[in-house]
C-alpha cells in the first residue's frame, strides 16, 4: 500500500500540501481532505533571470521540488545541478516547484514557469496533492496530458515523475488508478518515466523532516544522485564536458 500520511503532521505543517509518492494515504484509508496551501507560494524566476548554461532544465513540481523546510540551495533541483556540476557538466537548473500545487496549478502556470524559461528539458513532478484533495484520477490524468502536450508543442523534451504504489494495491482502487496514470502517459507521449522522487528514503525516518513527509538535506542528497543519473542521458550533448 501507499505509505500512510501522518495526520498530526498534516495539521501542523504547511508542507503537507505537496507530497511525493511516499506521502499518499494508505490504500485502506479514505483520502485526506483539502490541505492548507502557503499564502504566497513562490516559484523560481524564469531562465531570463538565471545564468544561461549550455543546457537549462526546469523542475515543475510541488514542495518536494520547492524544497520545503530547507535552504534554497539544498532543494532537490539545486542538488541535482550540484551532481552534474561535480561531473563538469554545463547545466543550469531552475526550481519551478510551488508547495501545494496540483496538476491544475502546474498547467495554469506552465507558460510562465516553463515556456518563458526556454529550457532544454522539463521534469514534471505533480499529482500527489490531487490525490490527497480527492481530485478524480481522470481529471489529474487530463491535466498531466495537457502539460505534456504543451511541452511537446513548445518543443521542450519532458520527463514524467510518477506516484509509485508500495506493496499490494487492489485492482480497480483509487490508488491503482493514480499509479497507472504516469506509466500510461509516459508511453502515450513517448517520454522517460521516473517512478518516485523519494524512492528508498521514504522508509528511513532519519532522512525525513519531523513531519515524516519531506526529506532532510541529507535525504535530498540521497534523492539527487539517482535522479541526476537518470536524467543525464536526456541532457543536450553540448552540456557534456569536452575531452
Is 63 annotated in the active site? yes
> What's 37-57 look like in SS3?
CCCCCCCCCCHHHCCCCCEEE
Instruction: Give the E-state strand segments of the chain in sequence order.
Output: 55-61, 91-97, 121-125, 158-161, 193-194
Is 211 annotated in the active site? yes
Q: Dihedral (C-alpha) 217, 44, 18, 129: value to the nearest 10 degrees?
A: -150
Is 214 annotated in the active site? yes
Q: Among residues 74, 120, 196, 214, which one is catalytic?
A: 214
H helices then E strands: how many in the chain? 9, 5
Residues 6+ apart with CB under 8 A from 171: none
Q: Among residues 13, 63, 113, 196, which one is catalytic?
A: 63
Q: Helix %, strand %, coil % for the chain, to 5?
A: 45, 10, 40
DSSP β-ladder status, 193-194 and 91-97? unpaired
Q: Among residues 62, 120, 130, 211, which one is catalytic?
A: 211
The one-character DSSP state at 69 is T
Tell me which residues are annotated as active site.
63, 211, 214
Amino acid at each position: 500500500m501507499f505509505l500512510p500520511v501522518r495526520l498530526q503532521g498534516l495539521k501542523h505543517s504547511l508542507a503537507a500540501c505537496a507530497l511525493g509518492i511516499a506521502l499518499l494515504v494508505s490504500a485502506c484509508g479514505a483520502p485526506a481532505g483539502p490541505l492548507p496551501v502557503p499564502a504566497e507560494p513562490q516559484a523560481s524566476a524564469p531562465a531570463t533571470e538565471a545564468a544561461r548554461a549550455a543546457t537549462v532544465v526546469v523542475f515543475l513540481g510541488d514542495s518536494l521540488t520547492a524544497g520545503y523546510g530547507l535552504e534554497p540551495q539544498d532543494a532537490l533541483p539545486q542538488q541535482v545541478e550540484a551532481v552534474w556540476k561535480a561531473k563538469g557538466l554545463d547545466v543550469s537548473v531552475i526550481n519551478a516547484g510551488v508547495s501545494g500545487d496540483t496538476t491544475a496549478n502546474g498547467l495554469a502556470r506552465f507558460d510562465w514557469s516553463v515556456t518563458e524559461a526556454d529550457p532544454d528539458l522539463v521534469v514534471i513532478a505533480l499529482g500527489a496533492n490531487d490525490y490527497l484533495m480527492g481530485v478524480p484520477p481522470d481529471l489529474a490524468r487530463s491535466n498531466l496530458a495537457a502539460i505534456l502536450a504543451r511541452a511537446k508543442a513548445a518543443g521542450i523534451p519532458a520527463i514524467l515523475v510518477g506516484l509509485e504504489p508500495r506493496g499490494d494495491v487492489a485492482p480497480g482502487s483509487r490508488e491503482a488508478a493514480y499509479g497507472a496514470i504516469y506509466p500510461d502517459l509516459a508511453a502515450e507521449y513517448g517520454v522517460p518515466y521516473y517512478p518516485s522522487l523519494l524512492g528508498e528514503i521514504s522508509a528511513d525516518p532519519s532522512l525525513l523532516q519531523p513531519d515524516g513527509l519531506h526529506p532532510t538535506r541529507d535525504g535530498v542528497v540521497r534523492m539527487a544522485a539517482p535522479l541526476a543519473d537518470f536524467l543525464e542521458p536526456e541532457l543536450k550533448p553540448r552540456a557534456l564536458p569536452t575531452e
